[in-house]
């Protein structure tokens, strides 16, 4: 190959390499960060029940409002993808999948708290106390990772560590889920009136476990962004 052609090829490769890391729509970064912040807020509200369970109705209402705000952000992302003709279908699918799974984290927290309003208890059920800090930590890891998307060249190691940590937290949640399912399914009910409480608590455990699964799915798609060099 002639020197001139080789130089052009090297320049082209350099440009393409840089383009991999540059967003074609910077607004997606802001929307992702806003959605990740909503997830952290939702997890913090769940943690607030530990300090004062009497705030359950108030926190449930706050989460319902937060969930609506998150849905609005997801709608903006989907609309932005619809009018974005610079991306292939696969890229749009990755972004849509990411946004919906992150929104599902907020949905899961809100759904679990709604179920708590059905349970006749004066204190936060122990399974929720065990899940809450793990969900909060996972959402914080995701928030940090999302901020790394703006500059993958500098922040790729941080994003990777956040994804690894989120997967580790999901493994912890699996253990908590198995422990409580075993207890809820095998411990005899002494009073028939406790049956509804037991069933609702079982559903809450399932919802919180699914919420952590959604966190893991978010981490996995963030890993996909990392492997591709950005969004």
Mean pLDDT of 186-197: 80
* Cβ partners under 8 Å of residue 88, min gap 6: none
Q: In total, how many domains does the chain have?
A: 1
Q: Which domain holds residue 65?
A: 24-228
Does 219 fall in a domain?
A: yes
Does 154 fall in a domain?
A: yes
What is the pLDDT, as a whole number, of residue 3? 53
Structure tokens at 121: 């208890």
Does 8 fall in a domain?
A: no
Query: Burial of 134 by CB count in 10 Å (0-12 exposed, 13-18 middle, 19+ buried)?
Result: buried
For residues 183 and 149, what is the distance between their CA atoms, to the nearest angstrom? 41
pTM assigned to the model: 0.83
State the CATH number of the domain containing residue 170.
Answer: 1.20.58.220
Does 30 fall in a domain?
A: yes
Does 11 fall in a domain?
A: no
Does 129 fall in a domain?
A: yes
Mean pLDDT of 136-150: 95
Mean pLDDT of 166-175: 97
Of 12 and 121, the structure prediction assigns the larger pLDDT to 121
For residues 230 and 156, what is the distance between their CA atoms, to the nearest angstrom? 10
Residue 21 has pLDDT above 60, yes or no: no
Does 106 fall in a domain?
A: yes
What is the pLDDT, as a whole number, of residue 15? 39
* Cβ partners under 8 Å of residue 14, min gap 6: none
């Amino acid at each position: 190959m002639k020197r001139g052609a080789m130089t052009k090829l090297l320049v082209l490769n350099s440009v393409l390499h840089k383009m991999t890391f540059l967003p074609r729509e910077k607004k997606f970064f802001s929307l992702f960060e806003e959605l990740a912040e909503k997830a952290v807020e939702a997890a913090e509200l769940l943690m607030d029940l530990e300090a004062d369970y009497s705030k359950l109705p108030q926190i449930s209402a706050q989460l319902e409002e937060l969930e609506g705000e998150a849905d609005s952000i997801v709608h903006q992302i989907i609309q932005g993808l619809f009018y974005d003709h610079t991306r292939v279908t696969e890229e749009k699918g990755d972004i849509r999948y990411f946004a919906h799974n992150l929104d599902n984290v907020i949905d899961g927290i809100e759904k679990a708290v709604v179920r708590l309003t059905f349970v006749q208890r004066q204190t936060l059920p122990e399974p929720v106390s065990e899940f809450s800090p793990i969900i909060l930590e996972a959402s914080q890891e995701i928030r940090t990772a999302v901020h790394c998307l703006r500059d993958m060249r500098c922040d790729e190691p941080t994003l990777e560590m956040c994804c690894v940590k989120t997967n580790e937290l999901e493994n912890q949640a699996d253990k908590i889920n198995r422990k409580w399912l075993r207890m809820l399914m095998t411990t005899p009910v002494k009073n028939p009136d406790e049956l509804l409480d037991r069933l609702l608590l079982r559903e809450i455990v399932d919802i919180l476990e699914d919420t952590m699964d959604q966190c893991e799915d978010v981490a996995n798609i963030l890993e996909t962004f990392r492997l591709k060099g950005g969004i």
